[in-house]
Amino acid sequence: GFEWTQLDRQDDCILCYERIAKDKDDFLLVVMNADQQTHYDYPVHVRPNLSYREIFSTDSEEWGGSGIHNAEPIAAVTADDDISEIRIMIPPLSLLIFKPEKK
């Protein structure tokens, strides 16, 4: 299946969604930047108690991009409002895919 995770970032031209398998705990997080601006330390809402590893980027040097990427798994942090997030770098005009891992 498919589920939007963050729809309030249209001013930044960022779309975030989960691609979900039959087992609801088997999913990928997809983050898309439709703008020419690089976003640094960008908050993305995620499921709690997991870390997220970038497994694909259209900005990879392999595809002719700059090669900027999120190198290490990023642990979800729960903010004061009980929303969990990761903070990532999002290259311009890119699509990133993250795979969740147990902390």
Write out the two tokens for 83. Answer: 């929303």
Closest CA to 28 of 65, 61, 3, 58: 3
Q: How confident is the model at residue 100 (pLDDT cuts 50, 70, 90)?
A: very high
- For the chain, give me the number of helices (H) and strands (E)? 0, 9
The tens digit of pLDDT for each residue in 50-81 reads: 999 999 999 999 988 888 899 899 999 998 77
- Per-residue pLDDT at 103: 75
* Residue 100 to residue 29: CA distance in whole angstroms: 8
- Per-residue pLDDT at 82: 84
What predicted TM-score, i.e. pTM, was given to this entire model? 0.92
Q: How far is CA 66 from the centre of its chain?
A: 18
* Residue 79 to residue 45: CA distance in whole angstroms: 10
Least confident of 3-7, 28-32, 95-99: 3-7
Go through the domains of the chain in sequence order and give each one's CATH number.
2-102 (2.60.40.1180)
Q: How confident is the model at residue 6 (pLDDT cuts 50, 70, 90)?
A: confident
pLDDT at 17 over 80: yes
